[in-house]
Amino acid sequence: MAQPEFNTWHGTTIIGVKKGGKVVIAGDGQVSLGQTVIKGTAKKVRKLSPGGHDVVAGFAGSTADAFTLLERLEAKLDAMPGQLARASVELAKDWRTDKYLQKLEAMLIVTDGKQLLVITGAGDVLEPEHNVAAIGSGGNYALAAARGMMDSKKSAEDIARQAMAIAADICVYTNGKLTVETL
C-alpha cells in the first residue's frame, strides 16, 4: 500500500478585490503538510512601506520563497518609488531569468491601492479582469465567489471576507482565520 506523500506543502488562499476606491487583500492562515495542519494562524498578507509608499502583498506557496520575493519587491520599489507596475515587471524578469530565483515556488498578489497585480514565476505580471484576483489552493473557489458578488452593494472588504469564507468551506487547505489589509 502506498504511503501518503508528506513532503508537499499545501494551502493558502489569497484574494484581492478592488471596488469603490478601495483595494483589499485577504489571506487565510492555514499551513498544511500533507494531510496535517501545521499552523492555523500564519500571516500571508503583509503591508510594506518602501520609500514611504504603502503596498500590500499576499503570497501563496513556500513561505521562505515568498519572503525572498517580497524582499526583492521592496528593493525594486525603493529604487522606483510609487511605480508598482514597473517594479513588479522588474521582479518578474529577475524571477524568470535568475537561476536561483527560478527555483522559487510562490505567487504574489500586490496592490498600491490603485493597481491590483498578480506576479508569477513564469514572468507574468497580470492585472486581473473584473477587479478580482485569487491565488492558492482555494483561489478558484474564492475567485468565483467574489466575481458573483462584484455587482452587489457589498464593499471590497465584505466581498473578500465572504469569498474567503466560501473557499474555506470548500478547500481543505484553507481556513477562516483571515489576515485582511486595505488600501
Phi and psi at residue 169, to the nearest 5°? -70, -25
User: CA–CA separation, 48 vs 78, rounded Å?
Assistant: 11
Tell me how far apart the alpha carbons of residues 164 and 174 are, in angstroms, rounded to a whole number.
8
**Count of other CB atoms within 10 angstroms of residue 52:** 8
DSSP state of 176: S
- Residue 181 pairs in a beta bridge with 25
Q: With H, G, I as helix, E, B as strand and everything else as coil, classify residue 114.
A: coil
* Residues tagged active-site: 12
R_g of the chain, CA atoms, integer Å: 16
Pseudo-torsion of CA 105, 42, 34, 100, nearest 10°?
20
